[in-house]
Amino acid sequence: MKEMRDRIEREADLPGLASILAESLSPTDLQSLLIEVYRLRAGRRTPAQILSDYEENRFVRPSAVSARRLLEWEAVA
C-alpha cells in the first residue's frame, strides 16, 4: 500500500496527500469530498464507456437481488 500511495502522490505532485486527507479532515468531510470526486468522474463518462464496463466488468451489473428484498433486509438491519 505504501508504494501505491507514494506513486500516486508523486504522479499527482501532491506529497503527503494521504496524510492530509487522513489527519486533517473529519470522516464526514472526507466522505463528502470523495462523493464529489466520484460525481465529477461519473459526469465525464460517456455512454460508450459505461456500456463497455457493463460488458467487460463483472462488478458492473444490475443486482441479482430484487429491490423489494433488499429494502426488506435494510428494514431489518
pLDDT tens string 7-28: 999 999 999 999 999 999 999 9
Give dist(CA 9, CA 12) in Å, integer.
5
Average pLDDT over residues 29-43: 97
Number of domains making up the chain:
1
Which of 26, 6, 32 is closest to 18 using CA atoms? 6
Is the pLDDT at 37 greater than 90? The verdict is yes
The residue segments making up the domain with residue 44 are: 2-76
Which of 40, 22, 19 is closest to 31 using CA atoms? 22
Q: 46-68, pLDDT tens digit by residue?
A: 999 999 999 999 888 888 899 99
Give dist(CA 18, CA 23) in Å, integer.
8
Average pLDDT over residues 39-51: 96
Orientation angle between helical segments 2-11 and 17-24, nearest 10 degrees: 110
Kindly report the pTM of this predicted structure. Answer: 0.64
